Amino acid sequence: MDKTLPDLATAVAGIDDGMVVMVGGFGGSGAPIELIHALIDRYKASGSPKNLTVVNNNAGNGRIGIAAMIDAGMVAKMICSFPRSADPRAFTEKYLAGEIGLELVPQGTLAERIRAGGAGIPAFYTPASYGTDVAKGKPVAEFDGKHYVQERWLKADVALLKAELADTLGNLTFRKAARNFSPLMAAAAARTIVQATKIVQPGEIDPEHVVTPGIFVDVLVEVSDPKQEEALMRAGVAYA
């Protein structure tokens, strides 16, 4: 099945109000900037999607990417590990004004919650966050004399990801650290939308090099010259 689409606008057309959207990236590394900006374009034109819950390692930087989504008023809640990063102005302003929610999750726990969502594991126990405000209200159990906090799986309606190389069937490779959360998110989302720097024909990627199999990918769009978040910030780009 050829999963390629002709443009970014078509790729994000099915994202609706109130959805949970996982966004790949560790800071700017692996961030699907073009897909995010296409979603912002759709919101500006139609007023949808809004009231989104966004899952990412952080809460955006500067005035681009996730931060631009927050500035535009599209995001109702962030689930992340680092709400304050290089330039957290967008999230900070909305949060202090009571206009956006936050679920703070330790980074390893965030990764494992996403992995559990993809693996069909509804809950697991971890010592991270025990005795802190993050653990309040969560079940606690003792194993071998140590206390562990129960964490629930994390799934999404949609994942927006950035790959380096893809074939038309959706098999993916990633560029170095840009891999980060993306393979986990692809498995945990009901619909996975990927921008790839290059799309090739089936058989042109060595099967031994495939990181995310095509079974986890629904939509592909080629973005041959993807922009880097940090470069856009240095240039003072404001997308919202």
175-179, long-range: CB within 8 Å, 24+ apart, which pairs? 175/30, 177/26, 177/29, 177/30, 178/25, 178/29, 178/30, 179/30, 179/211
- Beta strands at 219-222 and 189-200: parallel, antiparallel or unpaired: parallel
Q: Which of 209, 154, 167, 160 is nearest to 186 (CA)?
A: 160
Question: 132 Cβ partners below 8 Å, 6+ apart?
Answer: none
Q: Tens digit of pLDDT for each residue in 47-86?
A: 999 999 999 999 999 999 999 999 999 999 999 999 988 8
Q: The whole model's pTM is what?
A: 0.96
Question: 235 Cβ partners below 8 Å, 6+ apart?
Answer: none
pLDDT of 86 reads: 82
- Beta strands at 52-55 and 101-104: parallel, antiparallel or unpaired: unpaired
Q: Tens digit of pLDDT for each residue in 78-124?
A: 999 999 888 899 999 999 999 999 999 999 999 999 999 999 999 99
